[in-house]
Structure 1
Amino acid sequence: MSSITAMAAEETQMLGLKGVYEIKQWLESTTHIRLPFNVYENQAACTVNCLNSEVKRFDIYGHLLRKSPVPLVVEAKRYTTPGHQGTEFRKFLAIAYSSIVKSIKDNGADDRREFMWVTFHPFSQGDWPDLLSKAYLREALKVHSGYLAGEEIDEELIDGMPDRLWVLVYHSKQKSLLLTREELLLAHSVLKREGEGW
């Protein structure tokens, strides 16, 4: 690898890491989400396995702070244009479905994991109202059928998938609206979403 190529790769990684931290800060500032792991510092925590034996590493892993915490994986896209997000998003949907089925097969139970796509730029605006629909997920599984590894689609799981999928658009200007770390600690001490010891 040339020094110029290495520098470009390092710059891309730093830009990605910056985007991950910005999105983590934004999501945690809602007080409804806790994201202690990112792929740059803890790949294992951010990794899921698919039916076709493919391994996928998401950018961030943590929990939605509900009465019983729900596992959450986040894919962060620091784009300045729509780019190829429509294609990538369909793959994301297929991976989400496949990894849930694989987890149920391996563990005998569903961990209720949810999947969040957070982007700095909107995409597929013509399809926007349908991005989390069952029909869109079916189409994603048709396009990326390899993630099914020859298995039939589980209709009951497909029916519940829209409730487990998120698409959010973030803008850097929102940083000025976030709670500071000190404010967040104070909010959690009152809200107790994570319990007494947070």
Structure 2
Amino acid sequence: MPGEAMHTKGADGARRAKRWLDSTTRVRSSWTNEDAVLASRLEFNWPHGEQQPYSFDVGGILSGGEFEGRFFVAECKNYDAASDQGTHYDDWVAKCYLTRRDHHRLADNFMWITWHPFRVTKWTTLCSPEAVTDGLLQSRNLERVFNTKDEEEARSKLDEDLVTDVAERLWLIVLNEKQEKLVITPKHRGLILADQAEKGEI
């Protein structure tokens, strides 16, 4: 797929993911990486090497229950097949590790939102500390995360407690077009928001 078409498809996925998240009524505020004001909250620098900054597609603030006031960032994969999601996922968990380490006030939860499952034989372990470690120790991540090309040296620099903390904050969400429609209607969502505003909750 040409680059421009991929960008368009990706942007559409981010907008659809944001719309679905908002429709859960558990998101107080959200934005995408195309937002003129808040997009900068989704962009971060790799600590080593002359790398382009990395970014997330969607960010926001959750509401209600145990997630009240918690920040989240999300990566959205508007894919029709598993494709190269596994490779991107490895890079994503490395980004989550760095963001939690260096910018923990901006991200309490990390969501991977996709329209197609991937690595199905490892699906139940994708949010484990082992999956985070595997992603961090991919050869392309060694230098930009740990400033070394040696896997053993990188492993010695791993913060195991942080790895576990990040793994506990990972979400895997699989959407499809029908599921996107099976949410609260805009009318009823408006009633909920009006009630929350009347109670001074928003």
Q: Which range is displaced more, 8-17 or 172-181? A: 8-17
**2:170 is matched with which residue?**
165
User: What CA deviation, in whole Å up to 9, does each residue of 1:127-151 have, x standing for no partner?
Assistant: 1000010011111111122343347
State whether structure 2 residue 114 is matched by structure 1 residue 119: yes
**SS of 1:15's equivalent?**
helix
**SS of 1:75's equivalent?**
strand
Mapped to 1, the partners of 2:190 and 2:80 lie a distance apart of 32
Contact 2:73-2:107 within 8 A present in 1 as well: no
| Identity %, equivalent residues | 25
CA apart distance, 1:45: 2.4
User: What CA deviation, in whole Å up to 9, does each residue of 1:152-178 have, x standing for no partner?
Assistant: 111221221222111110001113212
Runs of 4+ in 1 over 6 A off after TM superposition: none
Query: Unmatched 5+ residue regions in structure 2?
Result: 148-153
**2:44 is matched with which residue?**
48
User: Normalising by the residue count of structure 1, what TM-score does the alignment of the two structures yield?
Assistant: 0.81
Query: Unmatched 5+ residue regions in structure 1?
Result: 105-109
Mapped to 2, the partners of 1:14 and 1:197 lie a distance apart of 36
State whether structure 2 residue 102 is matched by structure 1 residue 102: yes
Cα distance, 1:183–1:149 mapped onto 2, change above 3 Å: same
Mapped to 2, the partners of 1:36 and 1:112 lie a distance apart of 13
Mapped to 2, the partners of 1:69 and 1:102 lie a distance apart of 20
Contact 1:19-1:78 within 8 A present in 2 as well: yes
Contact 2:41-2:106 within 8 A present in 1 as well: no
User: Normalising by the residue count of structure 2, what TM-score does the alignment of the two structures yield?
Assistant: 0.80
Alignment length, in residue pairs? 185
State whether structure 2 residue 180 is matched by structure 1 residue 185: no
